Each structure stands twice: as C-alpha cells, then as structure tokens.
Structure 1
Amino acid sequence: MKYVLVSGGVISGIGKGVIASSLGMILKSCGVRVTSIKIDPYINIDAGTFSPYEHGEVFVLDDGGEVDLDLGNYERFLDITLHRDNNITTGKIYQHVINKERRGDYLGKTVQVVPHITDAIMDWVERVAKIPVDGDHQTPEVCIVELGGTIGDIEGMPFIEAFRQFFHFRVKREDYCLVHVSLVPQPQATGEQKTKPTQASVRELRGLGLSPDLIVCRSTLPIADTVKAKISLFCHVLPQQVFSIHDVSSLYRVPLLLHAQGVSKFLMEKLEINTSSSPFGSRMMMRWKDLSDRHDRLLKEVTIALVGKYTQLEDAYSSVIKSLQHSSLCVSHRLNLRCIEADHLEAAMMKENPSKYHDAWHTLVSANGVLVPGGFGKRGVEGKVLAANWARTNNKPFLGVCLGLQCAVIEFSRNVLGLDDAHSTEFNPKTKNPVVIDMPEHNTGQMGGTMRLGKRKTLFNTESSILRKLYGKQSFVEERHRHRFEVNPTVVSQLESGGMKFVGRSEDGERMEIMELQGHPYYVGVQYHPEYISRPMKPSAPYLGLLLASTGKLQTYVSRGFRLSPHLSYSEGNDEELDEEIAQLSIERSDSVESTS
C-alpha cells in the first residue's frame, strides 16, 4: 500500500481538499486504484451536528455517515464511493480508545496519547486504506490522506506524531509521499510574492519530524521561477518539487494544472509505481480537459434562484451548487446562481427592510428556474413556501429538495386544498393540519446520528413520471437521505386528488420520496438529496431536469427519448467512439458560438 499525505500551512481553507482530490484523479488516470481518507482534528464524533455557518455542508455517504464536505470532492473527482470510516475525527479516535480501555484491552496500563492514541490512528489508516472502492472488490493501491487544519494547530498534534511514527517505522520510504500545501501571498502594496509564510510553515513541519516531498504553492498568480528557487533553497526541496496552483477559472482546471507541471511523473517515480498506460485513463484525462474547456467557452447563461437559509456561506450548499454546475455544463449553459435569503421574501422583511424585500423578489421573478434546498429550523420557512407558490402559479421550473419538497406540500395544501393551517410539526407542533410530520422511529433523546440517513431505495409507481425518464426509465433509484420529517401519509390521497402526484415511494410504500405536479412544465420535489451522488460527467437527474426546463431544452430531450450525449460518462469505449464524441463536441461548440454571435 502506498500513501500520499496532504497537509496545509499558513491558513485554513487553502484548498487541500481540491489538491488531494486532484492528485487522486491524476493517479487514477494513470491506471492506479485510489482511495481517500480525510482527517478532521475536531472532537466531534462526526459532522452531523455542525452549523452550516461554521463548517459548511454536511456530506452524507451511502452507509449514512455524516462527514466533512471534502469527502464529496473526493467522490466527485474520483467517481468512487467512500464509507464513514474514510473520515477520521479526534472524537472517533478517542471514543475507540476509551471503549477499549473500558473493556480492559490495555490490561491495566496507563492509557496515553503516545502510544495508544497514535497507534489507534495508524491502525485506522492502515485498515481503511485497504477497503475496496468502486465495487470491484480489489484493494486500492494508493491512499490519499488529507490532514485537516493547519500545521501547528494544537488539535492536530496527535495526528502529526502518528504520521511521524507511521512513516518512520511502518512504511518504507518508497511507499509514501508528503505533499504540503502553502500560501504564497502577494501584497498589493509591493506586488511581490512572499515566501516567508511558506518557509515558516515548512520549518514547523520539519520540526515535528516530517519533511515534505512536494510543496504546492497556492497563489493569486502563477509562481515566478525565482520564487520557486527561493522556496527550494529554504525548504530543502528541489525546484522541480515546487508546484504552483494559482487561481483558475474553475476547479476542473486544477488537475490539469498539476498534470502539466509533471506531478504524475513525480508521484509514479517517488512511489515506484509501475503500471502500463491505460486507454481508459487517457480518455478520462481528455474528457476532464474537455469539461474544463466547455466551462470556459460557454456563452449562453441560465439563471437559477437558490432560496436558502445559509446563503452567506457558499460551502453550506457545496454539493447543491456543484450539482447545478454539472447539469448546466451538460446543457451547454453557464450557471448564473443567484442566492436569496428565504426570510427576505417574507412580509415581515417588507416592514423591516423594504430594499432587501424588493431585491429578493426581483431576483426570484427574474430567474429561469427556482431551487429550494434542505435545511433545519423555522427561520425562512415561510419564504420558501412563498417561493414554491410563485413557481407553481407562474409555471416556473422548480425543484424542492428535502425541506424544499415539504415546503411545496405545505404551500399546495394551503392554497389548493384550502387547509389554511397546514404546516409541519417541526415548525408548528399544534397545527390542526399536520401535512409534514416527524418519523415514528425518530429518537428525540439526542441529535447526533438520529436522522434517516444514507442510501435508500425509491420505487416508481408510474411509467409517465418525468423523473423516471430522466433516470433512464428505471423502476427504482437509490439515493442518499438526511431528514427527520416526512410527508404525512394520511393526507397523500387529498394531495393527489388535487394534482400533486407522489410518483416515487419507499419500498414499504409509506414514505413519499418523489413528487411531481400535474400540468406543470417542471415542478418536482424529492425527499432525498440527489446532489450527494452527482458527478461532473454524470449529472444528477432531478438537477438535470431543472436545468433542461430552465433552458427550454426539456421537450427536446423528451423527443430524443431522454438520451444524453455519450461524453457525459466515464464508460470505456474504443478510440473511434472517442473521436466521434470529440467531433460531436466540436460541432456543439460551433453551434453555440454561431447562435450567440
């Protein structure tokens, strides 16, 4: 087993997750089987109880693990499926060690950070690195490990010490590579790229017993050769071991930028990996390059209004935004995402701040499509209900996800069925018309890990469903869930008699999973979170439907039998097929340029 450890210095949020994902994608394109681990030094057991404002999105895996959003990057870039144990936290490690101590596994010894905590970390990494991904039952060859936080943080010290021991005593020199990501600032006052922060960061890392094999410099502009030479001199690496990642037009450019600087050759030589060139790998890199080029060349634009509760922090809707981007690329439109704070649509805001109220409504009514994502808590719910009402009554393409579906049900119950008091018991426990209720098995004793989580099967009950066709006319789909409340089964017959059809239900038929409104161009709600398994070249069906409807292309896809272009898949094929796909893409680009000139 080979290991690539990615650490970060100077500041947090420097892009370690994207760098780690890109390195994995490059290795995979070389024919190497890759897996990933994210280490978060916080004491929480998992990310499930985090505030979106503090830590961004909570990403959910197939097995129900609530993990850091970087695992979403890994899955999207590598097109693999990870597990809850691929996310290590301080809380998990200490809980594991304490449970062993309570069982008497340490035979009366004093339990300490060294060696017991560090041993637990090393054992965990070794065990998880061998878990197969992609369902091929083959052990991965390389494990990309991202160490969260910044070098020097007190929370990360046990992990740094664990990897010092790991690389000195458990792993051979040719079996690991340490990649350090550091910031190279360029103050406006001087315009000079400064290397001192990187020097200090690497010095700190070396003082803790780890020496980087490769330094990735994050900067606004490309790093000058003289700056690389200076970093090389003071950080004890060769100039060719210093890589530059400057700000680019899209994240899709990062793997290409690293590849162009020779990172694949460096990693293969450093890790002594011998593998024959893979036609699939070369096609994968070509398609990734085409994806990046498409992103930069798109001229048409589609505006989507995202009516949410945590819009001040983009990471709070990371997977949602990525899913919209995947689908917008698929329909050859540049995404213009306009975020609206849900409570700004409410009447109370009109009195409090008329300017915000009018701006919010102007943004909503001028959008091509409306998306209402999930969330928790009462704030902004009435604004989401109003957004659902506007989309329904004005035939505007609409997608409601999780809470978004529930808000659509509340709106429909009030304004079509005449149930004025209709609400969710989450927000109004005393409502006379509870159209959304908490699930019977919901454990009210604690918050963490008590929701309906992970991959579940949804069965379609009609062949005429628009989503069923977008999913490829399958009889069922498997998607990931994260919710405590559901549509009240006792009101479903009333809703369906009014035209709101629940075309997809859980296996037992009790849970309403997919809603479609009859007579509307595209008014869809899903209880699950389809954004979690969207991929750059495999866009999520509900999001794709929203973008198709918002760009006026849905009927064209209906007439084509909902067939997508072949370049949207990683599937293997012969070179003639690939040439045909690239030629078709060139035609599509030409048509796009001519139509806008």
Structure 2
Amino acid sequence: IELGGTIGDIEGMPFVEAFRQFARTVGADNFCCVHVSLVPKPKATGEHKTKPTQVSVKELRALGLSPDLIVCRSEVPFSDEVREKISNYCHVNPSQVICLSDQSSIYRVPLELEKQGLVDFFCTKFGISNPKQQTVSKTTIPAIITPKSSRPRDFQQKWRRLAERFDNTNKTVSIALVGKYTKLEDSYASVIKALQHSALAINRKLAIHYIEGSDLEEEAKVGEPGRYYDAWQSLVRADGILVPGGFGDRGVEGKILAIRYARENRKPFLGVCLGYQCAVLELARNVLGEKGAESQEVNRDTPAPFIVEMPEHHGGDLGGTMRVGRRETRFTAQGGVTWQLYKRADRIYERHRHRYEVNPAMVPRLEAAGLAFVGRDTTGERMEIAELRDHPYFVGVQFHPEYTSRPLKPSPVYHGLLLASAGKLKSYL
C-alpha cells in the first residue's frame, strides 16, 4: 500500500483506517506499507530537508500505520548522512530508506529501485524465494512448466536495454493524433503509451502532433483559418496518422478528411474503434460514391447506414449497452500485414469498448472497393480488423489494442504503424 502526500493530507482519509484494520487482520507478514515522501533541497540552503518526512511519518504512526519502507523523492541523490538522519528520526533501518532521485526516464526507476535492494527487501518481508538466487531442478518438474532460473536476469537485461535505448536514441518519428480531446493529453494516456512503446521498439524518439478533428473541417477554414491551416500543416508533416477511439459526432468529419488524406497520399494510418469506423465511412463516400454514408451514432435514420448499432443493444439508455472486455478475433485471411504483425496467429484476444460496428450488409461492397476485413469475431458477423492491401499501411481495428501494450511487448498494430512511419515495415516483415 502506498501512502503519499504532504503534511496534513493524511488527516481525514478514511482509507488509512481501512489499511490499519486490514494490516491487523492479515498480519505483518502479508502487509507492507510504503510511505512516499518529498525530501526537498532548497536552493537557498543547498541542503536536503528531512523535516517534512519526519512529520508525515509521525502523523502516519498517530493513525496506526508504521511504514515498512520510506521512499524519498528528491531531485538529486542525497548523502548517507541524510539517509541515517531519516532512519534515526523515523525509527526504521537505513536499508528501509530508499532515495528515488529524478531519473533520465521513467524506465530507469525500476533499475534504481532494484539497485537499492527492493527485490531483496520484499523477498525477506514476505518470505518468498529471491528470483535472483532461485535454482530449479529440472528432474522434479515437467519440462513444459519448468521456470527458467535465468528469466529474472533476462528480464533485467531487456529492461536495461530499453532504458538505454530511450536515453541514446536520436532519430525521431512523428505521428499525427487526430482526436476530440487533444487539449487534454490524459484523455489518450493509453494511446500515447502504446505509441511510446512502439517507438522505443524501433529505436526512435516519438513526436506527437495533437490535432483537433474539428480544426480540419471546412467550417474551421472560415471561422478559425489560423487553426485550420496549422492543423493541416501538422497533418501533412507527420510521418504517420492515428485516429483513436471516441464518442459523439464532434470532429468526425475532420477525422474522415484526415483518413482520406492518408489513403490518397499513401501515408501510414491506423484507426482504432471510432477511427476504424471513420475509415469505413471515408471509403464508402469517396470510393463507393455513397456521399450519404453515415453512422447511426451520428444519424440514426440515415439511408446509408455503414456503421450500425449492435443488434443486441438498444438506443436510449447508454448504461450497460457496450460490448466490453477481452474477446476473440479470428483471422479469415492469411498473408496480410496485420496477420504477420500478430506472428501469423490463427486467433487473437483483444479488449473491446464500443456500441457501434460495421454493418455486415455493406461488407461485400466495401471489400469490392479494396477494404479487406481480415479479422472477424467467432460468429463471423462482426468485422474486427480491416486493411487496404495496396497501401503501405492502412489498418483499422474495432478493438482497443493500446490496452494490452507493454514496454517490452508493444501492441502489434501500433508497432506496425510506427514501423511503416519510419520506413521499416517491409524489412521487419
């Protein structure tokens, strides 16, 4: 359990009492309290100040919790003298005081914590085997489930290489993120992390051009010409284009214009959820000639519903009407770029969060226009993955692959977007 904050913040927190009771219930061997505290170093004195940490630990103890570890945040490392002082006044061993100074990247933080003995501490605290010292007898465990004693070390080496790549990479790849809430970057936190994971995997720094979909529309050209031209300039300059998920109709027309630009100018493109649906609408309007092609989310009475509400759901009350969670997608065609990015798997599992989908009745016309639906659900009625065969990288997915992206295992379709944007996709495949 992590408790952090400044002096006085702890008072009035009901969960502190819940932690105290929980610790008493499960016992000290099953509970660890990590207290995070700021140790400032004012420029006026040039010395680290431990008083805030001392007072906050005192307040914590007054509420019935004692820290097992004190993680001290500081701009720069502090001396052993400061560590001893915190240890003495907070009644913990010096080994229980961790100095977590600012690092060159967040990827350096686990390495720094491991360097200061956190793995050894937790193994001792909870009475578990230390993975760094663990040896496994292969004669007593079936080979198929035998854990490899080298895995922790291999993981540390991979993570260290990841951190070094972040620090030493000089080349940059740029992605235009065309969305609806681009002024609030936290709205796309998972998307941004997935892009960062993929950029690191190809040894590139990531530059994101945040573009409001509505700024690309013709109305903006009249009302906000400066924003309009800046948005289009950012879109054109980017190496690749991403249209993430979202809800509502604001900015949809701008997203469709961005997708048209990506398709006609052969610029790498990835559409996720709503972005995927916008790609379907763009193709229907500008290739099939269905100028009225629309989504029922925007116009429920549209005469050309290429995107429809899921058949088992009903409009009106939005509560509990979404298709969410981990779902199976089966590849219906082999040889495509998405299939190769997913290591030529027959089926994959990705997380969903949507209530509208591609109209199955329109699929034959869309495929005739060049959009191949290479992944479908288990019924074959839901279109999960689509791609243009004659394009460097033009992929749309109904699910949200950013939810499962990890630093050492980036999402395949995000990885593909970054590879294509950096001109590396063909050699990678």
Q: Same fold per TM (> 0.5)?
A: yes
Q: Deviations over 1:368-412 (max 9, x none)?
A: 111111011222222211111111111000000001101111111
Asked whether the 8 Å contact 2:336–2:389 carries over to 1, the reply is no
Q: Deviations over 1:432-475 (max 9, x none)?
A: 22211111222546444431011111122211321011111122
Question: Whole-Å Cα distance in 2 between the matches of residues 511 and 250 of structure 1?
Answer: 41
Asked whether the 8 Å contact 1:181–1:217 carries over to 2, the reply is yes
1:127 maps to what in 2? none
1:166 and 2:37 are equivalent in the alignment: no
Q: Give secondary structure in 2 for the equivalent of 1:514.
A: strand
Asked whether the 8 Å contact 1:7–1:151 carries over to 2, the reply is no
Question: Whole-Å Cα distance in 2 between the matches of residues 343 and 188 of structure 1?
Answer: 46
Q: Deviations over 1:102-150 (max 9, x none)?
A: xxxxxxxxxxxxxxxxxxxxxxxxxxxxxxxxxxxxxxxxxxxxxxxx9
Equivalent residue in structure 2 for 1:319, among 184, 190, 214: 190
**Amino acid in structure 1 at the alignment position of 2:20:** R
Q: Give secondary structure in 2 for the equivalent of 1:414.
A: helix
Question: Whole-Å Cα distance in 2 between the matches of residues 357 and 192 of structure 1?
Answer: 50
Q: Give secondary structure in 2 for the equivalent of 1:315.
A: helix
Matches within 5 A, 1:112-131: none
Change in Cα spacing, 1:460 to 1:269, as seen in structure 2 (3 Å) is closer
Question: Whole-Å Cα distance in 2 between the matches of residues 490 and 185 of structure 1?
Answer: 63
Change in Cα spacing, 1:458 to 1:221, as seen in structure 2 (3 Å) is same
2:348 maps to what in 1? 477
Question: Whole-Å Cα distance in 2 between the matches of residues 195 and 377 of structure 1?
Answer: 50
1:494 and 2:350 are equivalent in the alignment: no
Q: Deviations over 1:59-90 (max 9, x none)?
A: xxxxxxxxxxxxxxxxxxxxxxxxxxxxxxxx
Question: Whole-Å Cα distance in 2 between the matches of residues 443 and 366 of structure 1?
Answer: 42
2:6 maps to what in 1? 10
**Amino acid in structure 2 at the alignment position of 1:420:** K
Question: Whole-Å Cα distance in 1 between the matches of residues 95 and 333 of structure 2?
Answer: 59
What is the deviation of 1:344? 2.0
1:265 and 2:120 are equivalent in the alignment: yes
Change in Cα spacing, 1:242 to 1:364, as seen in structure 2 (3 Å) is same
1:253 maps to what in 2? 108
Which segment is superposed worse, 365-374 or 246-255? Answer: 246-255
The unaligned stretches of length 5 or more in structure 2 are 135-148
What is the deviation of 1:214? 0.8
Q: Give secondary structure in 2 for the equivalent of 1:307.
A: strand
Question: Whole-Å Cα distance in 2 between the matches of residues 349 and 227 of structure 1?
Answer: 57
1:222 and 2:218 are equivalent in the alignment: no
Question: Whole-Å Cα distance in 2 between the matches of residues 409 and 187 of structure 1?
Answer: 57
Question: Whole-Å Cα distance in 1 between the matches of residues 343 and 211 of structure 2?
Answer: 32
Q: Rg larger in 1 or in 2?
A: 2
Change in Cα spacing, 1:183 to 1:309, as seen in structure 2 (3 Å) is farther
Asked whether the 8 Å contact 1:481–1:527 carries over to 2, the reply is yes
Q: How many residues align?
A: 413
2:10 maps to what in 1? 152
Matches within 5 A, 1:458-469: 458-469=329-340
**Amino acid in structure 1 at the alignment position of 2:404:** I
Change in Cα spacing, 1:449 to 1:395, as seen in structure 2 (3 Å) is same
1:511 and 2:382 are equivalent in the alignment: yes
Question: Whole-Å Cα distance in 2 between the matches of residues 525 and 547 of structure 1?
Answer: 15
Question: Whole-Å Cα distance in 1 between the matches of residues 224 and 217 of structure 2?
Answer: 11
% identity of equivalent residues: 55
The unaligned stretches of length 5 or more in structure 1 are 12-149, 559-597
2:137 maps to what in 1? none
Equivalent residue in structure 1 for 2:221, among 339, 342, 350: 350
1:182 and 2:178 are equivalent in the alignment: no
Which segment is superposed worse, 216-225 or 203-212? Answer: 216-225
Change in Cα spacing, 1:247 to 1:305, as seen in structure 2 (3 Å) is farther
**Amino acid in structure 1 at the alignment position of 2:403:** Y
1:289 and 2:144 are equivalent in the alignment: no
1:128 maps to what in 2? none
Using CA pairs below 8 Å that are at least 6 residues apart, which structure has the higher relative contact order? Answer: 1
Q: Give secondary structure in 2 for the equivalent of 1:228.
A: helix
Q: Deviations over 1:21-63 (max 9, x none)?
A: xxxxxxxxxxxxxxxxxxxxxxxxxxxxxxxxxxxxxxxxxxx
Question: Whole-Å Cα distance in 1 between the matches of residues 173 and 165 of structure 2?
Answer: 15
1:304 maps to what in 2? 175
Change in Cα spacing, 1:360 to 1:191, as seen in structure 2 (3 Å) is farther
What is the deviation of 1:287? 1.2
Asked whether the 8 Å contact 1:217–1:223 carries over to 2, the reply is no
Q: Give secondary structure in 2 for the equivalent of 1:525.
A: strand
1:202 maps to what in 2? 57
Which segment is superposed worse, 232-241 or 488-497? Answer: 232-241
**Amino acid in structure 2 at the alignment position of 1:403:** L
Question: Whole-Å Cα distance in 2 between the matches of residues 352 and 264 of structure 1?
Answer: 58
1:231 maps to what in 2? 86
1:90 maps to what in 2? none
Equivalent residue in structure 1 for 2:410, among 539, 546, 560: 539
Change in Cα spacing, 1:441 to 1:189, as seen in structure 2 (3 Å) is farther
Question: Whole-Å Cα distance in 2 between the matches of residues 346 and 226 of structure 1?
Answer: 61
The alignment's C-alpha RMSD in Å is 2.3
Question: Whole-Å Cα distance in 1 between the matches of residues 41 and 299 of structure 2?
Answer: 52
Q: Deviations over 1:198-252 (max 9, x none)?
A: 3443333222210111111223333454543443344333333221223323221
Question: Whole-Å Cα distance in 1 between the matches of residues 186 and 397 of structure 2?
Answer: 22
Q: Give secondary structure in 2 for the equivalent of 1:428.
A: coil
Change in Cα spacing, 1:443 to 1:239, as seen in structure 2 (3 Å) is farther
Question: Whole-Å Cα distance in 2 between the matches of residues 245 and 206 of structure 1?
Answer: 22
